[in-house]
């Protein structure tokens, strides 16, 4: 079975600074996908970034980038130039590659990020 661990229950960062959220996972699969989702207090889960395990290049989306270390089973999220609107719960999630169908997401427990003015 796959597990996802987020070891930082809470973090805070000053506006405009950079913060890194940690995520490790355990799997025996070789082909899979990794995601970071953001859940603001309004509750809707929003996709931040997606990584395909067979791609060595780290994914980036504007101010968001990941450090994907497949051998170490590590998938950290870096947020640059933090903004007040980045305040939210951040969830790391794993999806096994499944032939012929979608796979479900396995989530970590989340990291609560507070961006301070």
Partner 1 sequence: GAGVSQSPRYKVAKRGQDVALRCDPISGHVSLFWYQQALGQGPEFLTYFQNEAQLDKSGLPSDRFFAERPEGSVSTLKIQRTQQEDSAVYLCASSLGSGSGQPQHFGDGTRLSIL
Would you tell me how many other CB atoms lie within 10 Å of the CB of residue 113? 21
Q: Which distant-in-sequence residues (6+ apart) come within 8 Å of 1 by Cβ?
A: none
CB of 102 to partner 1, least distance (A): 4
Q: Per-residue x/- marks for partner 1, 40-59, CB under 8 A?
A: --xxxxxx--x-x-------
Nearer to partner 1, 52 or 76 (CB): 52
- The pair of three-digit structure tokens given for residue 44, joined into one six-digit string: 């809707």
Number of C-beta neighbours around residue 112 at 10 A: 14
Name the minimum Å distance from CB 54 to partner 1: 10
Pick out residues in 4-23 that bind partner 1 (CB under 8 A): 4
Instruction: Give contact residues for partner 1 (rule: CB under 8 A).
Output: 4, 33, 35, 37, 42-47, 50, 52, 91, 93, 95-110
């Amino acid at each position: 079975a796959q597990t996802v661990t987020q070891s930082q229950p809470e973090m805070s960062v000053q506006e405009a600074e950079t913060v890194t959220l940690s995520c490790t996972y355990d799997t025996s699969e070789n082909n899979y996908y990794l995601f970071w989702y953001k859940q603001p207090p309004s509750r809707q889960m929003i996709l931040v970034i997606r990584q395909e395990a067979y791609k060595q290049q780290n994914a980036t989306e504007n101010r968001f980038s990941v450090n994907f270390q497949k051998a170490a089973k590590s998938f950290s999220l870096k947020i640059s130039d933090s903004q007040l609107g980045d305040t939210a719960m951040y969830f790391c999630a794993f999806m096994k590659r499944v032939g012929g169908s979608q796979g479900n997401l396995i989530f970590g427990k989340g990291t609560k990020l507070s961006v301070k003015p």
